[in-house]
Structure 1
Amino acid sequence: MRTLYAAMRDRLRCYAGDESEPGGMSHATTRLEGHTIECLAASRAAPKGVFVGTFEDGLYRTRGRATEPSEREFERLETDFVSEAVTALAVSPRDPNVVYAGTEPSRVYRSTDGGDTWTHLEGLTDLPSADEWAFPPRPHTHHVRWLEVDPFDPDRLYVGIEAGAFVLSPDGGKTWRERPEGSRRDNHTLATHGDREGRVYTAAGDGYAVSDDGGDSWRRPQDGLGHTYCWGLAVDPADPDAVIVSSASGARTAHTAERADSYVYRRLDDEPWERLEGRGLPTGEGVVRAVFETTDADGVVYALNNRGLFHSEDFGDSWAAIDTDWEDGLEVQAPRGLVALPN
């Protein structure tokens, strides 16, 4: 049994069941309808539940156990963030009470009590490149697009600024380092791997990159990646060298349904990227970039786009639909996040 939280742009869809059985994963509830959702995060052991960041109304958290979506409600948390635009969230894999939040304009905050209280981690915008950071649709500002906590070192935090820099902190936000050698500038999704110390991945607007030394330096394997505006990213929990990304030729074809033309690529070991087509997951014209989620099970990956929610048990060789009966308006939305929790 599993619970899925699928964040679309204006609502959160909650599912529960067993996707391996026909009809086993049913749509349970819709939450936060009408809000502009930006991000989503949870820990499989989080005592305080699922966190949802919105653009205009701050931060929300589930009441009670997060793995019972049909009964869960969300409460708005009182914070003193720089704005109500919460654009990135992460829960520490070591301690589910430790939660990080990023905002627009770019600030990073940390809670050590599951979201009840927050501390601003100062110094991020004092970095030398901060004057160059800008988000093209709103060029007067920028935001934290992604936060990732290192599974081997809980004080090591990775930050993707949209757009302008990859930033890391080796000491829980006391100090910051920016733009290490080979890093990308427009980082959208960052990931780490619990079986490969030092491994960090990024799907960025200026391409894919991977680090083997905790983000201090990066390499850029691009061979076979025909579309380099990357967004979604998933790594097989059983194999740190098996990676899936969603990508397009640019921002408009990635995010805008009327112009959408996005694809999914997979890289195994050191082989060139392979475009995954005709395997049950919609791609190409009319399909916006997907977001992904994995579980602790080998080869299991979920994908969410404007055509529905899908899952694969062989890391992309084949996909089955969980839900393609979209409510009105979802077919034109770019998804914001996906969380899978065991029941």
Structure 2
Amino acid sequence: MMNLFVATGDGLAHLQQQLGNWTASLKLQGQGIQCLALDPQQSNTLYAGSSDNGMWKSTDGGITWLHLDLPQANIFSLAVSPIDGTVYAGCEPSMLFKSNDGGETWRELAALRAIPSAPTWSFPPRPWTSHVRWIAPNPHNAQVLLVGIELGGLMYSEDGGETWEDHRFNAQRDVHALAWHPQAAGRAYEAGGGGTAWSRDGGKSWERLDAGRSHHYTWGLAVDADDPDCWYISACPGPRQAHYSPNAQAAIYRWQQSGPWKPVLSSLIHFPYALTCLAGQLYAGLSDGNIYASSDKGENWHCLEIQGDQIPKILAIAGTVK
């Protein structure tokens, strides 16, 4: 059975596929859910972060939820280490917290706010603040951690967040999404407001990859689990088209081997905020609540027919197979 979990900006949608049919049920409605994270070691455990209402946890696959006592209310990013189960939460203003006991207690990794560039961090729509947009624990080394500040840069730690190195040269400063390859140690990927970049040495150095793309405002990111040279991003001409325009003019691009980027789904009116690869399927979640899927690396797509509750919007997507 396939399970997809979607952050809608209002609540969370749980989608289940049985015998080829998809059914959606809405949870945490009215809580402003912005992000989510699954625990790779415990398939029924997941976390959801909200704007203004803090953080929630489910241990029964999203059926029931417990509100956690996190010191900050505005959560923009969540992650769970696939190695040791450490839970990370990123906030606005830019603060990073970790929990080693499943969210029972939290400790701020305050060294992040002491990075030399921190006074310059500024999110354009709210220039007096910034936030931790993405957290990426390394799946091969629990001590290595990437964190993206919107807008401020891509930060690197090799001691679990106790100390940090400032923005990585050639990475995008307007970080929107980060990923590690689950099998190829050292491979990391970034989608940002000015384009895309990747690393081959565990996040220490970065190379920009933009050839073949007409759109450079990139957001969603997914990596082929079997091929570290194959990854996907969503993009559009700029932030206005992505977030405010009735026509996003968006596309999903695929990179393979030595490139260049190739559009595999284009002329999208609604912006694909969320991409994920799961069990050989590539899923794209759009701002109108629709989900597109491809089983052949983006060559062909179909829109999921979903019964049950209507999904208003998709900001993040993750899934499991049971």
Q: 2:83 corresponds to which residue?
A: 94
Number of equivalenced pairs: 321
Match of 2:52 among 56, 61, 67: 56
Cα distance, 1:259 vs. partner? Answer: 4.3
**Alpha carbon RMSD of aligned pairs, Å?**
1.8
- Give the counterpart letter for 1:56 in structure 2: D
Q: 1:144 corresponds to which residue?
A: 132
Q: Answer 1 or 2: which has greater strand percent.
A: 2
Q: 1:303 corresponds to which residue?
A: 284
Range with bigger deviation, 304-313 or 123-132: 304-313
Q: 1:286 corresponds to which residue?
A: 269
Provide Cα deviations, 1:81-104, integer angstroms capped at 9, x if missing partner: xx30011100101123x1100100
Counterparts of 2:83 and 2:114, CA distance in 1: 29
Q: 1:26 corresponds to which residue?
A: 23
1:65 maps to 2:60:
yes
Match of 2:184 among 167, 180, 196: 196
Counterparts of 2:267 and 2:32, CA distance in 1: 26
Cα distance, 1:180 vs. partner? Answer: 2.0
Cα distance, 1:65 vs. partner? Answer: 2.3
8 A Cα contact 1:192 1:201, kept in partner: yes
Q: Could you say if the C-alpha distance between residues 172 and 26 of structure 1 is closer, same or farther in structure 2, counting changes exceeding 3 Å?
A: same
Range with bigger deviation, 51-60 or 283-292: 283-292
Range with bigger deviation, 174-183 or 138-147: 174-183
Q: 2:70 corresponds to which residue?
A: 79
Cα distance, 1:211 vs. partner? Answer: 0.6
Counterparts of 1:145 and 1:61, CA distance in 2: 20
1:312 maps to 2:294:
yes
Q: 2:141 corresponds to which residue?
A: 153
8 A Cα contact 1:188 1:205, kept in partner: yes
Counterparts of 1:155 and 1:119, CA distance in 2: 16
Cα distance, 1:60 vs. partner? Answer: 0.7
Q: 1:253 corresponds to which residue?
A: 241
- Give the counterpart letter for 1:250 in structure 2: G
Provide Cα deviations, 1:145-182, integer angstroms capped at 9, x if missing partner: 00001111111110000001100110011110011221
Q: 1:321 corresponds to which residue?
A: 303
Structure 1 unmatched runs, 5+ = 278-282
Q: 1:280 corresponds to which residue?
A: none
Q: Could you say if the C-alpha distance between residues 325 and 256 of structure 1 is closer, same or farther in structure 2, counting changes exceeding 3 Å?
A: farther
Cα distance, 1:326 vs. partner? Answer: 9.6
TM-score, normalised via structure 2 length: 0.94
Cα distance, 1:47 vs. partner? Answer: 6.7
Counterparts of 2:292 and 2:30, CA distance in 1: 24
Cα distance, 1:325 vs. partner? Answer: 7.1
1:3 maps to 2:3:
yes
Counterparts of 1:329 and 1:322, CA distance in 2: 12
8 A Cα contact 1:134 1:164, kept in partner: yes
Cα distance, 1:261 vs. partner? Answer: 2.0
Q: 1:43 corresponds to which residue?
A: 39
Counterparts of 2:248 and 2:150, CA distance in 1: 21
Provide Cα deviations, 1:232-282, integer angstroms capped at 9, x if missing partner: 0001001011111000111111122524221111111112111113xxxxx
- Give the counterpart letter for 1:50 in structure 2: L
TM-score, normalised via structure 1 length: 0.89
What is the DSSP-based 3-state SS (H/G/I as helix, E as strand, rest coil) of the residue aligned with 2:82? coil
Counterparts of 1:248 and 1:119, CA distance in 2: 37
Counterparts of 1:327 and 1:250, CA distance in 2: 31
Counterparts of 2:216 and 2:251, CA distance in 1: 10
1:217 maps to 2:217:
no
8 A Cα contact 2:22 2:306, kept in partner: no
Q: 1:13 corresponds to which residue?
A: 13
Match of 1:208 among 196, 212, 215: 196
Q: Could you say if the C-alpha distance between residues 324 and 223 of structure 1 is closer, same or farther in structure 2, counting changes exceeding 3 Å?
A: farther
8 A Cα contact 2:80 2:87, kept in partner: yes
- Give the counterpart letter for 1:95 in structure 2: D
- Give the counterpart letter for 1:65 in structure 2: D
Cα distance, 1:321 vs. partner? Answer: 2.1
8 A Cα contact 1:44 1:342, kept in partner: no
8 A Cα contact 2:23 2:308, kept in partner: no
What is the DSSP-based 3-state SS (H/G/I as helix, E as strand, rest coil) of the residue aligned with 2:246? helix
Counterparts of 1:37 and 1:261, CA distance in 2: 26
Q: Report the identity percentage.
A: 35
8 A Cα contact 2:43 2:320, kept in partner: no
